[in-house]
Structure 1
Amino acid sequence: MTIPWENGMEPDLFGTRRDEPIGPGAMILRGLASAPEILAEVERIAALSPFRHMLTPGGRRIGVEMTNCGALGWVSDRRGYRYEPCDPLTGRPWPAMPARFLQLADEAAARAGFPGFRPDACLVNRYVPGVKMGLHQDRDEAGFDAPIVSVSLGLPATFQFGGPERSDPVAKHVLDHGDVVVWGGPARLAWHGILTLRRAEHPLTGAARINLTFRRAG
């Protein structure tokens, strides 16, 4: 089991974790998503729309395995980055967004100052040791008025978070199981990424990190 202060975080002697602002419009909500039924929903989604490695428009395999749930799902292939209502692997609509997911996304966004968030897409990413996500902006959505809500499950990861310009300074934040990052408003187009995942085992996910990214895409 991950011990918080081994990852550079202060020990919590009273069983609560404070919300942690990381910039204007951005906040880490520590331990908000630790309920075990969240991972059970991930397993149900993956049984209907399996994890897979997508391709970049240039034909490079993306290291993170991905699937989706909700009315829209993010896909990438030689045709580009976009949202689609159906899973290209199965030909069927993406699995419905679980009510527990919608509740979590709404609660997290409201705590970070963005009430009324109703995502129509949830990207489900699976990282294994040695995999990373380079710095990028989330720009494939129809508009940028809604926040991004990102949930970390399983192995700890180092989250990089910068500003709206690629040249802005980038800070590093360790994310543990159940931590949620929300960014919107002035931070909506912040550059962000995940450093290479270290080799380890988590009691709930094994040698893997699961990330849920809630967005309003349409």
Structure 2
Amino acid sequence: MTASYTLPDGFRYLPGHFDRPAQAALIEAVVAATRSAPFWRPAMPRTGQPLSVMMTNFGPLGWVTDQAKGYRYEPCHPQTGQAWPEIPPALLQLWHEFAAHQAPPEACLVNWYAPGSRMGMHIDWDEAATDAAVLSVSLGDKARFRIGGPQRGGKTGSIVVSSGDVVVLGGAARRCYHGVDRIYPGTSTLLPEQHFPGGGRINLTLRRVNRP
């Protein structure tokens, strides 16, 4: 982290939480999910500019965005109309251990960062249950994760997250800007080429949407 930056309360970094077999099992679950919920490229509200990541979801709700309706949660895939696949048990267990919330997660975003993809600084604030932490699992290539404060443009710090690492944004950290600056191509062999051409990084983000 940058020397002048202090991590917000509620931020937790769990390096190597998932070992290699557990990581491979999660990737297998992602591949299985894409048979009924394939990756697609969402678009920004207003401008319609496509995001640099491809995405899909697990859970009863999935996060989607497009120019017509903006950011929101929907029970079905926007292209196939099918319900999202169930959240893998390993991720439900992770939530149980680290989310410190009485209700289970309702959405698990699956973002595929190809080499060159990034995610601008943002706050996850489309949920009614803002008291619930956001849990993020990294799989595949290393990435530089950046976090700041509750106002855009303030001081930030960064860490390089590796495959199997988990980041928890709870408490004050839940209201802080964060993003992904870059991917480090070729730093992992986890993602099978036949399913993820060019490799890259899968990020799984668990969220509770509605108040229980």
TM-score by length of 2: 0.86
Paired residue for 2:58? 69
Amino acid in structure 1 at the alignment position of 2:147: F
Paired residue for 1:16? none
- From 205, 208, 211, the equivalent of 1:216 is 208
Contact 2:163 2:188 in 1 (8 A): no
Paired residue for 2:39? 51
Offset, 1:115: 5.1
Contact 2:43 2:50 in 1 (8 A): yes
Contact 2:142 2:185 in 1 (8 A): no
* Structure 1 runs, 4 residues or longer, greater than 4 Å off: none
Distance 2:48 2:154 in 1: 29
Distance 1:129 1:98 in 2: 26
| Correspondence 1:110-129 to 2 at 5 A | 114=100, 116=102, 118-129=104-115
TM-score by length of 1: 0.84
Distance 1:187 1:215 in 2: 14
| Correspondence 1:13-52 to 2 at 5 A | 22-34=7-19, 35=22, 36-52=24-40
Does residue 92 (structure 1) correspond to residue 77 (structure 2)? The answer is: no
Give the RMSD, CA atoms, in angstroms: 1.7
5+ residue gaps, structure 1, are: 1-7, 9-20
Distance 1:55 1:23 in 2: 30
Paired residue for 1:204? 190
5+ residue gaps, structure 2, are: 193-198
Offset, 1:59: 0.7
Offset, 1:107: 2.1
Contact 1:108 1:180 in 2 (8 A): no
